[in-house]
A = this chain, B = another copy of it.
Amino acid sequence: MISKQQIKTIHSLRLKKYRDQSGLFVGEGPKVVAELLQSFECTYIAALQSWLEANQTFIPAGVRCDTLQPEELAKTSMLEAPQQVIAIFRKQPDALPTTDALQSELCLALDTVQDPGNLGTILRLARWFGINHVICSPTTADIYSPKVVQATMGALGKVKVAYTPLPQYLASLSNEIPVYGTFLDGTNIYDAPLTSRGIIVMGNEGNGISQETASHITQRLYIPPYPMGSPAIESLNVGVATAITCAEFRRRIMPIPNS
C-alpha cells in the first residue's frame, strides 16, 4: 500500500524543478531499477509483491519499501505500460573529466540535444563505446528526466555527466586537446585523422552546433551520404550521427584480429 503523499512525490519528480530541489529522480521497471541500484543510492521502492520477493537480496538495507497492488502501480507509474517496480534514487553530482582523462580519453559534448530519446540513445552509445564522460550544455535535456532514465536502459550511472556552458568550457581547455564536430562542410570523416583522445561535439536536432561552440572546434568532420556527393537532402538524426562518428573513432584504434 502506498500513501497519496508518496504518489504525489513520485509524480512531482517528473519536473526538473523538483528533481533539482530534492536531488532525487525516479526509475521504473525491473531492468532499469536493477541497473540503477548498482550505481545510485536508492531512497524508496514501491513494487508488486512478486518483485519484492524475487529481489529481496538486491534491496539495500534500510530502504523503505511499499508493496503495491496492480491498480496502485498503474496509478503511481509514469509509464504507459507500468512494469512491476518504481524506485527513487539520489542524483549524482556533476563530474567533469579530470585533466588526466582529457589527456587520454575520448569524451562527448552535447550542444543543446533536446529530445530525451536522443539523449538516452547517446548515453547508451557512450557506454557501448567506452566513453566515460559526456559534457552537456545547460540547454541539453536533463539526464534525470523520466524519459531519459527509461531510454538509457540503465546506462545512466556508468557514464559521468556534467552540465556546463560549452563555449567557456572548450575555451578553457589546453590547445593540445582536439575538439571534433560534424558539419556539412567538414572533412570526410573516413579521410580525416582521428585520435583516441579529445572531445566530440554533437549538435542540436534542428540547428546543429551553435556558432559560439563551433568557434572552438579544431577538427571539422563530415559524415558522407552515399553515393558521395548526392545532395544531403536532410541531416542525420543526432543519435544516428553520434553512432556513426563514435564507431569510426573506435574502429581506427581497434586491433583487427585476423588480417
Give complex CA distance A243, B128 in Å: 15
Chain B hits for A125, CB < 8 A: 236, 240
Mark A226-256 against chain B: 1 for CB-CB distance below 8 A, else 0.
Answer: 1110101110110110011001101100111
CB distance from A75 to the nearest CB of B (A): 23
Chain B hits for A188, CB < 8 A: 256-257
In the complex, which residue of chain B has the Cβ closest to the Cβ of A224?
A: B254
CB distance from A259 to the nearest CB of B (A): 6
Chain B hits for A224, CB < 8 A: 250, 254
Give complex CA distance A38, B154 in Å: 42
A121-B237, A128-B226, A128-B236 as given contacts; A247 in contact with B248, CB under 8 Å: yes
- Copies of this protein in the assembly total 2
Q: How many residues of A contact B (CB 8 A)?
A: 39
In the complex, A129 has a CB within 8 A of chain B: yes
A257 & B191 in contact (Cβ 8 Å cutoff) = yes
Give complex CA distance A121, B230 in Å: 19
Looking at the complex, which one of B237, B247, B256 makes contact with A124 (CB distance below 8 Å)? B237
Mark A184-212 against chain B: 1 for CB-CB distance below 8 A, else 0.
Answer: 00001011000000000000000000000
Looking at the complex, which one of B225, B226, B240 makes contact with A121 (CB distance below 8 Å)? B240
In the complex, A70 has a CB within 8 A of chain B: no
Give complex CA distance A256, B248 in Å: 14
Can you show 27 pairs from A to B with CB atoms below 8 A apart?
A: A121-B237, A121-B239, A121-B240, A125-B240, A128-B225, A128-B232, A128-B236, A129-B225, A130-B226, A130-B227, A130-B230, A154-B234, A188-B256, A188-B257, A191-B258, A191-B259, A223-B247, A224-B254, A226-B250, A226-B254, A228-B254, A228-B255, A239-B239, A239-B240, A240-B240, A243-B244, A247-B248
Known A125-B236, A191-B258; 12 more pairs at CB < 8 Å: A117-B117, A124-B234, A124-B240, A125-B240, A128-B225, A128-B232, A188-B257, A191-B259, A237-B239, A240-B240, A247-B247, A248-B251
